Chains A and B, each alone.
Chain A
Amino acid sequence: MQYTLLIILLPLISFIVLGFLDSNLKPKVAGAIGATVLGIITVLSYYTAFEYFTYHQIAGVYEKVIPLHVEWVRFTEFLHIDLGILLDPISVMMLVVITTVSFMVNIYSLAYMEGEKGFQRYYAFLSLFTFSMLGLVIATNIFQMYIFWELVGVSSYLLIGFYYTKPSAVAAAKKAFIVTRFADLGFLVGILFLSFYTKTFDFGVLTSGDASVFASTAGVSFMGISGMSWAMGLIFIGGAGKSAMFPLHIWLPDAMEGPTPVSALIHAATMVVAGVFLVARLFPVYEVYAPEVLHGIAYVGAFTALFAAVIACVQTDIKRVLAFSTISQIGFMMVGLGVSGYGGHEGLGYMASMFHLFTHAMFKALLFLGAGSVIHSIHNNELNHMGGLRKYLPITNITFLIACLAIAGIPPFSGFFSKDEILSACYKFSPYMGATMTFIAGLTAFYMFRLYYGIFWGKEHKHAHTPHESKFAMAFPLVFLAAFTVFAGWIPFGHFVTSDRANYDIHLDYTVAGISVAIAVLSIILATIMYRKESVVPQKLASCFSGLFKAASHRFYIDEIYIFITKRIIFKHVSTPIAWLDRHVIDATMNGLASTTQWTSVKIKDFQSGQVQQYAYVFLLGTLLIAGLVLFF
């Protein structure tokens, strides 16, 4: 399947072309190039998926296909970074997801970004991102993954900061990069640990289940925690950074400063699930050698999901609401992995979370694109400037609604199936976990419909010019993704992606399904009551839970804490003192030596008094001194 190489190369080429020609190209041409390339690779990756899932199954188990593998740089006799393509169920699934969403976004942007300055640059960056993201998912070894990990990080930086004349955008980009970079430090050190003990970077070896690889880790422990736990925990920190797990989530809401399609692509569908993908990729290692870390992941995921959901309920910027909902949904995926076991029915959580990743990518992208078209039409993304837009934006309205239903987990939309699997996995893990997640699911439904009603219903606002449905280039992706959202649920996902790559038949757990649906419906009704028409209930609620409300709308002051740490502590009490020390102590000593010499020179100048007798006197003293020394020593 060498042609898969094209899937990687084409976006790179288009990036280089667009990047170099930049403003020498007509915007239209640039857009065309970007979109076409994406179209081609989308087709290619669909074909790949088809071929892989049909021809590469041996005894019901999907084999790992490595069509390409070259050594890039060698460190030691064991350790060497390779570049290659690894095809297995999850990577192929990711190929499909990434190319689809990216393609849609590319088309959408044609209209959305029309007339923007630096349109060509925008498309160049999109291609760069697509390239990096694809490289990340098909990585054959953890270091290759790290490489592309960094690349997606930088392309996200570039895209968030696309409106570089806008200070808030620049700040957001910087924040996103540095926070994820900080997490990547953990990732890197984790890699160092892992590779040192296992003497390999290669996923194939790591996940082969061959115990001899990990033999040297036995009994290794640091500060009472086993070496492997350190390694895998640190690696997870990297994942947590990219996937905006608490407390590293703070960059994601700000990242909404970027163009909306970018948010749809990077900060909803693809890059932010890289963390989930990482854990899934190393799942066998986690599951066998660091189970406690895996459970930790589950709890972190659960907490993040709850935390983000609560915040999402009170945000007024529609993109931020979606951002927090993304965080919360990723939390779901993490939980799915965290609670999962390995193989067969045990591996339900794994399958479920991958499934959710898949569906969520689609409907969250849809939501963002919808939000985008709303913003595009009224040039504002504050919830309280909207309302009653349903008659102006019919398509957006419908597709948005579908997405909301999907995410709320209403059958038969895709979100229902995937989320339901996760829930049942949670119940299998522990009833409390299950309950919590169900509650969060309810919250999700609530805030999504608060958003929906806030945009499309309620009383109208005066707008500069009457909003109008956006043109085809924007409408088409909405419809396409909506279709996906509607039908994706029926894919027998267990036949494709499972923890042990073996077939597995999903059977709905009707009690769990029932409960979750019921709760979802209830919260939707609640939302309907509160937000469909003008009503005083929200204010009432807000005032009686004023503390919670205030805290939530300030995102529980996490950002303030960060500001405090960075600005006050690092900047004021580490860097400034060090810089001061450098100038006034170390440098001062150097200068001190010089000035001391000068000073001495001035002090002793009277020796040269000009009096010949004094010269003779010194002469004599010198003679006698030497004589004395020679005689008596």
Chain B
Amino acid sequence: MDYSSFLQMTEEFSLLAVMVILLVYDIFAGEKSHRYFQPVALILFAAHTLLTCIPREAFNIAGGMFQYVPMQTYVKTILNIGTLIVLLQAHKFLNDDSNYIKRGEFYFLTLSTLLGMYFMISSGNFLMFFIGLETASIPMATLVAFDKYNKKSAEAGAKYILSAVFASSISLFGISLIYGTTGTLYFNDIATLFTGTPLQLMAFVFFAVGLFFKISLVPFHLWTPDVYEGAQTNITSYLSVISKGAAVFVLFTLLVKVFGNIISDWQPILYGLAVVSITVANVFAIRQQNLKRFLAFSSISQAGYILLAIISGTALGMASLVYFVLVYMFSNLAAFGVLSVIEQKTGKVQMTDYNGLYQTNPKLSFVMMIALFSLAGIPPFAGFFSKFFIFSAAAQQGFYVLVFIALLNTIISLYYYLLVIKAMFLNANENPIEKVTSDFPAKISLVICTIGIMIVGIISTFYNQIAVFSFSM
């Protein structure tokens, strides 16, 4: 048997290479050369991002266990950029004395979750998929619990791992039933054999909730705010953007490629989930004082919006989905970036701490503001375009009422985003947060995000490029 075809998995291999190099570096490098660990790591990863960003011809290897389509390159690149930004933001946090020795772990764990997502995305078989899923989530638990001496962090870790395993076991049970009813684990075969018998529907639901958990849709979202609050900010941002992004893409692919036959069954499910997620999350978000929790809820409602793209199941929807993830990544990471910069300096995450931030930190508050506006879908920022396209994709399939409900929710979301902006710009504060100077990598990350938010919408190339390779059933 010829294994050379495996070499086609360039993204995975190059990432693996980066990981191994870093691992070796971390273990064997001396005290002096260790100083350069982070720069090296960042450069390596950036190189990896650049090298793997060119889409190739679609191919299957390992008998269809690993299926590549060009679209995946875009998704993986988006994830790479996101990870890069997160790593840049984490730079300072990792240079603290307490974490100095743990930097290697941090990178290794983060990148292994990324690798897991790669496999999840490219998988053509449930076994591969499940392995990917777990590879993506188990290291995540350790990351969440990264800060050993912090009660909150430990609690968050426990909550995450317990819920995650609970979810994945249910999901696994679902997969087993799918196997039982179809006799195969290959997506292509299942697609034809999956006819929608009651047991199969049951199996589908059991399986799907595992993904819903990852995307944290209501009512599978309850872990999200706690974990987001407890975990270290950069990890939270990673959690909220990267793993969620991967999961939504996979959800779309699976629903379209594997469960296309029962579209009439899963569309109502997504419909309901979208409505509930958006509304409940918004209503919760109104009250949040801790900004990390606040962003957690906002990300839940964003996930709800993403479903509007998935529900259409069209190529348009796929393109809009990926585009949305791209924009969402920039916006959310910008917000988290500001958050982490300020938290690392002052340890303040309460909304009231941000009162009058504009007086002392105009730049940071500006970035925060455009990030929030973009999340709220306000032009000329990218968020507006991504939202519009998603609504358009849904409307094209005739989901006017759903779009309408979603739009009414944008009012609520605008309200709470404005609360933060109000805090920063309007509210007076006699002793606001002192002038914060963010370190160089964080600066870069924020600049990248800002530029992204500014231009990704107005310049249509991004979307059109994505649209070229988008696919549907």
Contact = CB atoms under 8 A, between A and B. Distances in A.
Direct contact between the two chains A and B in their complex (CB within 8 A)? yes
Contact-residue size bin, chain B (C-beta under 8 Å from the other chain): 20 to 34
B202 A619 contact: no
A612 B412 CA distance: 28
Interface stretch (A77-85, A269-277, A622-630): A622-630
Interface string B210-253: 00010000011011011000000000000000000000000000
Given A623-B205, A626-B209, A631-B201, A601 B223 contact: no
Among A600, A614, A630, the one with the most B-chain Cβ atoms within 10 Å of its Cβ is A630
Contacts of B159: 612, 615
Nearest to B160: A612
A604 B286 CA distance: 12
Contacts of B201: 627, 630-631
Contacts of B166: 616, 619
A602 interface: yes
Given A598-B286, A604-B284, A612-B162, A619 B222 contact: yes
Contacts of B30: none
B283 interface: yes
Contact of A623 (B170, B284, B286): B170
B226 A619 contact: no
Interface in B403-451: 412, 415
A621 interface: yes
Residue among B220, B222, B223 with max Cβ neighbours from chain A (10 Å): B222
A540 interface: no
Interface string B281-294: 00110110000000
A597 B283 contact: yes
Contact of B269 (A607, A614, A629): A629
A619 B204 CA distance: 16
A605 B158 CA distance: 22
Contacts of A627: 201-202, 205-206
A626 B205 contact: yes
B220 A619 contact: yes
B272 to A, nearest CB: 8
Given A604-B283, A629-B269, A615 B222 contact: yes
Interface string B178-213: 000000000000000000001001101110010001
Contacts of A601: 283-284, 286-287
Interface in A582-633: 594, 597-598, 600-602, 604-605, 607-608, 610, 612, 614-616, 618-619, 621-623, 626-627, 629-631, 633
A589 to B, nearest CB: 15
A630 to B, nearest CB: 5
A605 B213 contact: no
B64 interface: no
A630 B412 CA distance: 30
B96 interface: no
B268 interface: yes
A612 B284 contact: no
B225 A608 contact: yes
A597 B159 CA distance: 29
A619 B284 CA distance: 18
Contact of A622 (B204, B209, B283, B412): B209
A601 B297 CA distance: 12
Contact of A607 (B198, B222, B226): B222
Given A619-B166, A623-B209, A627-B206, A612 B223 contact: yes
Given A605-B284, A608-B284, A630-B269, A623 B223 contact: no
Given A630-B204, A630-B205, 18 more contacts: A601-B286, A602-B287, A605-B284, A608-B226, A610-B226, A612-B158, A614-B222, A615-B223, A616-B163, A618-B219, A619-B163, A619-B167, A619-B213, A622-B219, A627-B201, A627-B202, A627-B206, A633-B268
